[in-house]
Amino acid sequence: MNIKPGDPVTFLVRTFGSDTGEEVWDFGDGSEKVTVNSGIVRSKTQNEGSYASTIHSFKKPGHYIVRVERINENGFPAIGHLHVTVTDGRKN
């Protein structure tokens, strides 16, 4: 909510039941896709099976459909979509 151009936005994803494959994010703004892996996150701050995160900043105001996809070891995709509104910060 109240996202403005340049604001860092954290996106979280977790896939259950598989630790193979990766989640691929497409932010819908023409930027490069980002790959993360929620199945084998291991660090001092995240336990295995934790959410994998990525941070993205949108450059311009607009409506964006953000898509994340993961294909399991059997070739079946799981796809999620999120509508993100980036405002110019002015009051209407």
Domains in the chain with CATH codes: 9-86 (2.60.40.10)
**Residue-wise pLDDT tens digits, 30-57:** 999 999 877 654 454 555 556 778 999 9
* 14 touches 55 (CB < 8 A): no
- Distance between CA atoms of residues 29 and 71, nearest Å: 23
The whole model's pTM is what? 0.79
Indicate if the pLDDT at residue 15 is higher than 50: yes
Kindly provide the b/e burial profile for residues 77-86, where b requires at least 16 CB atoms within 10 angstroms of the residue's own CB. ebeeeeebeb
The overall longest dimension of the chain from CA atoms, in Å, is: 49
